[in-house]
Chain A
Amino acid sequence: MKPKFGVVVFPGSNCDHDAYYVTKKILDCETEFLWHKDTDLKNCDVIILPGGFSYGDYLRTGAIARFSPIMESVIDFANKGGIVLGICNGFQILIEANLLPGTLMKNVSTKFICKDIFVKVANHETVLTKNVSKNILEIPIAHGDGNYFIDEKGLHSLKENNQIIFQYCSDNGEISDKYNPNGSAENIAGIMNKSGNVFGMMPHPERCSDSTLMKSDGFLLFNTLIQNIIK
């Protein structure tokens, strides 16, 4: 049986319908919106925290959304091994909720960046990337605060536990400052927690999952995810 998806809706989310469209219409999986004031996860198998500007990014990105009633359930779900995927603002919220390490700071350029970029799959042994058919994916980014920071000790721990899953790169996989859009440590675009069930990524796979749009590398990730957790 295919997994059931839940897409959390915060005030200010703006990629919730894109995520819903992909899981419901493209992947043909049962999908529910989950309102931030609710606490019921409606028996979903995968929770998506979508992109957007929850609470207007006031104070810090994700800082207020992290205390939404639904997040108590999401944290509980994640701690019990449930799969959670945070995209862009969703990644920022997961970090504020301490489900993922580090901090997403303002881009080094101080500019909001919206463009297609390439990321290298740095770890193929995760439910999100196992058996994904490409090493380099083209996925759009759209953020002002995507500059991933972590202290030396934290970075060492991320590497030791293979928690880095995506790194910004060139179209042929070269990882260097030249292909780092926002100043992230080690070109980090996406990470997971130690247990491998909580994922955060700045690029937007839900924006490139419909073949009508000509670019559909995002579909590869979502499709891999459902193949790897099929019930």
Chain B
Amino acid sequence: MYKATIIIKRRKSILDPQGKAVEQGSKLLKIDDISEVRIGKFIELNIDTSSREKANEELDKLCNKLLANLNIEDYSFTLEEIK
């Protein structure tokens, strides 16, 4: 069994209105040294496969088909073996 940690981020070239709004919010707190705020998604899940390769393969499929929109987002994940 593996625990997967998936991060989905908007591509650099795509405007992120939520990130911009948060950046403006930081200014309201008088914190003026914040820039390049990007809001993404963080997903955790367990995957019970026989091998790490199989888990990688299934997660790629999951991210490609469902979790990420590859027109505007990139994804990455890490796998940790658990009992």
Contacts and interface: CB of A to CB of B under 8 A. Distances in A.
B71 A59 contact: no
A63 B69 contact: yes
Given A106-B17, A108-B15, A110-B17, A151 B71 contact: yes
Given A108-B15, A110-B18, A67 B72 contact: no
B66 A149 contact: no
Interface residues of A, number: 19
Contacts, number: 35
Interface residues of B, number: 12
Nearest to B65: A67
A154 to B, nearest CB: 9
Given A110-B21, A149-B14, A105 B66 contact: no
Interface string B66-77: 110101100000
Interface of B: 14-15, 17-18, 20-21, 41, 66-67, 69, 71-72
Given A105-B72, A106-B18, 11 more contacts: A60-B69, A63-B69, A64-B66, A103-B69, A105-B14, A105-B15, A106-B17, A110-B17, A110-B18, A110-B21, A150-B71
